Every structure is written in structure tokens, then in C-alpha cells.
Amino acid sequence: MDITQIIGFFGALVVGLVLGLTGGGGSILTVPILVYLLLLNPVTATAYSLFIVGVSSCFGAYKNFQKGLVDIKIAAVFAIPAFTMVFITRKFIIPAIPESIFKIGSFIVTKDIFIMVMFAVMMVIASISMLKPKKDELDKHAPRKLSNLLIFNQAIVIGFFTGIVGAGGGFIIIPALIILGNLSMKKAVGTSLFIIAINSLIGFIGDIGNVDIDWTFLLSFTAIAVVGIYLGTYLSNYIPGKKLKKGFGWFVLIMGCYIIIKELIM
């Protein structure tokens, strides 16, 4: 095992740590670690990310389910269209994207560049969500009628982007569950983890047959991330999550901008 692989597996521990400490966001690091440190191609990296995010989210969802913080009814309304769209995206849309999408002068926008730029845009959006000051305004949101149609439509959009970039999308799902599903913040987080777990693992199933999977590597990476989750959950009792989340938000913003520059300019 060379130094790059050691750093990559250490990155898996960091992914789990961030998930355990902040309750989300760590999955946004998975694809850059797999692509830039472990040198996987973006299609394989996003497939692996779905498995890693899915398994990691299962642990968090189970803990929240035990505490009664998962709304199964709303999760079903959201998850069914979302995981259907994730599966369709991974099974049919990703393989159908041509290797060379379009050309601007001498610059060719390839499939790999398209996926990484889409991922970087999601990173920037996620970082802005982390950096915005929170004053529990979502918890105090005025009650409104449950909108199954709005939840369904948003689930389709989130499912598509989850399928493209291989990230959980909790930073989009949580506000949707609070505003459209009338859930409290804590219940939205638990329900979101449940939805992310289902979406990601079913999306990964869509990749089987399309992507060569190194199960030894994938299971090792995932196991280290899960260890990181438990370590992060323990450390969260001693480290203020809000400050950590803000620092992580800045890091994700810088990383997102770097990926865009690297893929389009460098």
C-alpha cells in the first residue's frame, strides 16, 4: 500500500468523523477523495460513493429510528420517487452520456468533466447551506398542509442529482421535509438519513453490471468510514458542532471552487 492509498483511507476516517460530528456533510468529501487521491474515474467514484453514503446513513438512520425520529409515512412519499429516479439515472442515464459531450474551441467537455463540475456545483451549494446562520427558524416554521405533490416533485429532482453526483443531498432533503412535510428539525434529520440510505443503496444497485466493483477496497473504505462515524459521535459530546460545521463549510466551498477551476481551466 503506497502513501496515496494510506492518505485515501485516512480520508475515509475523516468522512465518517464529519458525519458523526455534524450529522451530515461528510459524504461530500467521498468523491474528491476517490477521484483525486485514489485516482478512480468519476463514474466509478460516484458509484462507490453511493454505497459508502448508503451504508453510513443506515447506521445514523437506525439510531434515529430507535429514538422515534423517523417519519416512515413521509419517508415513503419522498423515498419512492427519489430512489426510482436515482436507479434510472445510474442504470440508464449515466451509461447513455457520451464520453465527449460537446466542444468549445479546442476544449472538450467530457463525461468525466461534466460529472465532476456537477459535483463541485453541489459542493458550493452545500457549503452555502452550512455557512448560512441558523436561528432555528425552520423549527418555528408556520404549520402548513402536507403537500405530497410538492414532496414528490422535489424527490424526483433530488433523485436525479443524487444519481449524477453520488452524494446524499441531505442539505436539500432536510429543508424540504421541514417546509413541505411539517417535520421538526430533529425528525427531519432522522427521516433524511433514512431516505438517503435507501436512495444511495438502490442507486448503487443500478450501477451493478455497469461498473467494475472492487469489493475488497469498497468494503474496507466503508468500514473505516463507519468507524469514523462512531468516533465522531463520541467526540461530538466534547466538540461544538456549530463551529465545526462552519469551518467545514468553508473547506467544502474552497474544494468546490478548486474542482471547478481544475476541471475547466487547469
- For 130-167, what is each residue's pLDDT tens digit? 787 665 544 555 555 556 777 788 889 888 988 888 77
State residue 88's pLDDT score: 94
Residue 100: pLDDT band with limits 50, 70, 90: very high
User: Is the pLDDT reported for residue 243 higher than 60?
Assistant: yes
Q: What is the pLDDT of residue 122?
A: 85
How do residues 223-232 score in pLDDT, each as one tens digit? 998 888 888 8
What percent of the chain is modeled with pLDDT above 90? 23
pLDDT of residue 19: 73
Res 223: pLDDT: 93
Q: How confident is the model at residue 22 (pLDDT cuts 50, 70, 90)?
A: low
Find, among 180, 170, 225, the residue nearest to 200 by Cα: 170
pLDDT at res. 3? 82
- DSSP string computed for 65-120: HHTT---HHHHHHHHHHHHHHHHHIIIIIHHHS-SEEEEETTEEEEHHHHHHHHHH
264 has a pLDDT exceeding 70: yes
Average pLDDT value over all residues in the chain: 83
Residue 89, pLDDT score: 92
Instruction: Kindly report, residue by residue over 43-62, the tens digit of the pLDDT.
Output: 999 999 989 988 988 887 88
Q: Which of 251, 258, 213 lies closest to 26 in space, CA to CA?
A: 251
Alpha helix locations (H) across the chain?
3-22, 30-32, 42-66, 72-88, 94-96, 111-131, 148-165, 170-181, 185-207, 215-235, 241-264
Contacting residues for 74 by C-beta, under 8 A, at least 6 apart: 146, 151, 177, 181, 183, 191
Instruction: Provide the pLDDT confidence category of residue 98 given band limits of 50, 70 and 90.
Output: very high
The whole-angstrom separation of Cα 176 and Cα 52 is: 23
Could you tell me which residue, 27 or 131, shows the higher pLDDT? 131
pTM above 0.85, yes or no: no
Closest CA to 45 of 27, 19, 26, 21: 27
Asked if pLDDT for residue 242 goes beyond 80, the answer is no
Q: Who wins on pLDDT, 59 or 170?
A: 59
